[in-house]
């Protein structure tokens, strides 16, 4: 998993790996009526990145 805290790489590297994945997800689901789901996913990703930063 890209956001595992025990990976031992920099936050910038994690964000670089995560960007294409999230970009693809948002483009795939942008036409669907799932704004709430995308907001929840955004909140989850932000929380995981905060945890990753705190672990460092």
Confidence at residue 29, expressed as pLDDT on a 0 to 100 scale:
80
pLDDT of 56 over the 80 cut: no
| Distance, CA of 56 to CA of 53 (rounded, Å) | 5
Helical segments of the chain, H only: 11-29, 35-55
List the chain domain ranges: 11-55
| Distance, CA of 18 to CA of 3 (rounded, Å) | 8
CA 8 to chain centre: 17
| Distance, CA of 9 to CA of 38 (rounded, Å) | 27
Query: Are 37 and 44 in contact, with CB atoms under 8 Å apart?
Result: no
Instruction: Read off the pLDDT band of 1 (50, 70, 90).
Output: low
Which tens digits make up the pLDDT trace of 25-51? 888 887 887 888 888 888 998 998 888
* pTM of the predicted structure, to 2 decimals: 0.69
């Amino acid at each position: 998993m890209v956001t595992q805290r025990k990976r031992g790489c920099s936050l910038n590297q994690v964000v670089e790996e995560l960007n294409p994945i999230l970009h693809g997800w948002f483009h795939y689901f942008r036409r669907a009526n799932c704004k709430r789901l995308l907001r929840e996913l955004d909140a989850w990703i932000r929380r995981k990145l905060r945890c990753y930063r705190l672990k460092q």
